[in-house]
């Protein structure tokens, strides 16, 4: 019963953002549609907003197409795996999305047992320990050798995940990041943006190994990710 209520709660949260955005757009359209005949300025404003929304919608569809079509599952052997953090439940335990990423890392490790695993995630304000530490415990409980685990526990977002993991790998391997091969483990919706950031930080030989998004997270994660892609392209360094 507890699991059922958890799923219902997550479904409500997942669909909340897209429905809120659509609701705001719909209400704005109705307001201007009703008022535009009364005021020439509002008529012109409504026309400009319609054009802006059409352009935004086309861009959104294009970004979503890139996110969906980007290659997400490469099984070739690499020197290092990077698992990107995603948050902790109750401030201590990897949440469902992060568990899926860690399980994907375990599967990749089974296919290529010589790899090192970089766990990337710092400590949020609502967390009792760094995500990397919780991730390490999760993997060790499932048989992953502690000697293969490298913890990166300072990052707060995806850009820092990629940036600080690069520093850890270069320190550990004594090589430049372009001299080692990397497998980035994340969730399917996140693969495209993580690859954009990897290129920004000088990663050359990298590929992706993604877990699948739980169905009821798809509306919110894919909607947010399109906005996050724009932010990463324009502002992340």
pLDDT tens per residue, range 116-174: 999 999 998 889 999 999 999 999 999 999 999 999 999 999 999 999 999 999 999 99
DSSP state of 143: T
φ/ψ bin of 216: left (φ > 0), alpha (ψ from -120 to 50), beta (otherwise): alpha
With 50 as the cut, is the pLDDT of residue 7 above it?
Answer: no
pLDDT at 73: 87
Decide: 166 and 79 in contact? Cβ < 8 Å.
Answer: no
Domain ranges in the chain? 2-69, 80-234
pLDDT tens per residue, range 185-197: 999 999 999 999 9
pLDDT at 111: 86
Handedness of CA 178, 181, 185, 187 (dihedral sign): positive
Contacts of 221 (CB under 8 A, 6+ apart): 14, 187, 189, 190, 213
Range picked from 2-11, 47-56, 192-201 for highest mean pLDDT = 192-201
DSSP state of 202: T
The mean per-residue pLDDT over the stretch 45-61 comes to: 82
Element (H, E) at 122: none
Alpha carbon distance 218, 10 (integer Å): 11
Whether this prediction's pTM lies above 0.75 is answered by: yes
pLDDT tens per residue, range 93-112: 999 999 999 999 999 988 88
Superfamily of domain 80-234: HUPs (3.40.50.620)
The mean per-residue pLDDT over the stretch 23-39 comes to: 62
Mean pLDDT, rounded, of the chain: 86
Contacts of 222 (CB under 8 A, 6+ apart): 64, 67, 68, 189, 213
Q: Higher confidence at residue 90 or residue 119?
A: 119
SS3 track for 27-96: HHHHHHHHHHHHCHHHHHHHHHHHHHHHHHHHHHHHHHHHHHHCCCECCCCCCEEEEECCCEECCCEECH
pLDDT tens per residue, range 111-130: 888 789 999 999 988 899 99
pLDDT tens per residue, range 196-215: 999 999 999 999 999 998 88
């Amino acid at each position: 019963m507890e699991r059922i209520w958890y799923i219902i709660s997550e479904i409500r949260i997942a669909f909340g953002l897209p429905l809120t955005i659509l609701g705001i757009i719909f209400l704005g359209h109705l307001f201007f549609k009703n008022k535009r005949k009364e005021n020439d300025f509002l008529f012109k404003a409504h026309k400009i907003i319609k054009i802006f929304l059409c352009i935004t919608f086309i861009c959104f569809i294009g970004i979503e197409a890139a996110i969906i079509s980007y290659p997400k599952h490469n099984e070739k052997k690499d020197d290092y795996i990077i698992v990107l953090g995603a948050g902790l439940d109750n401030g201590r335990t990897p949440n469902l999305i992060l568990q899926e990423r860690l399980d994907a890392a375990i599967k990749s490790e089974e296919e290529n047992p010589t790899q090192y695993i970089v766990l990337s995630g710092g400590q949020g304000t609502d967390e009792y320990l760094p995500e990397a530490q919780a991730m390490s415990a999760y993997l060790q409980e499932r048989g992953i050798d502690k000697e293969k685990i490298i913890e990166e526990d300072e990052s707060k977002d995806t850009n820092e995940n990629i940036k600080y993991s690069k520093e850890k790998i270069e320190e550990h391997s004594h090589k430049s990041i372009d001299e080692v091969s990397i497998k980035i483990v994340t969730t399917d919706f996140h693969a495209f943006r993580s690859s954009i950031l990897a290129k920004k930080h000088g990663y050359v030989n990298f590929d992706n190994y993604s877990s699948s998004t739980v169905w009821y997270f798809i509306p919110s994660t894919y909607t947010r990710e399109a906005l996050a892609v724009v932010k990463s392209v324009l502002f992340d360094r």
